[in-house]
Amino acid sequence: MAQDRPTAGELLAAIADFLREEATPALDKAEPRLGFQMRVAVNSLAILEREARLGPTADAAEQARLAKLLGRHGTLDELNRDLARQLRTGTRDERDPALMEHLDATIADKIAIANPKWR
């Protein structure tokens, strides 16, 4: 059961902020290698926070696009496996504009979670 407040995303953001703003600078001075490892951990926490916040909407949008593209309903995993099978067997043309539009939107959502500064 989910808690009310703070939410999981808020907790992840608070932990990442503390580690980024207070712990990492102290480690950088005392032990630079650990400072680097802390920055990796902070980045990982930030990805988890964005995934908790943005992931469900991104998954739902991807599932809806796939259902439209494939002309059937199913779980996100089922639809992705079906699309992969179609591409592998050549029953779907990889140059299909609708496919490219779907892939572009899916990649944009994934980048927004993994590394929003990329674009």
- Indicate if the pLDDT at residue 2 is higher than 70: no
Q: Which long-range contacts (CB under 8 A, 24 or more apart) does 69-75 make?
A: 69/98, 69/99, 69/102
pLDDT attached to residue 115? 92
Euclidean distance between CA atoms 47 and 110, whole angstroms: 10
Condensed to tens digits (0 to 9), the pLDDT of residues 45-96 reads: 999 989 999 999 999 999 999 999 999 999 999 999 999 999 999 999 999 9
- Indicate if the pLDDT at residue 119 is higher than 80: no
Q: Give me the residue spans of the domains in the chain.
A: 8-114
In 3D space, the residue among 37, 46, 48 whose CA is nearest the CA of residue 16 turns out to be 46
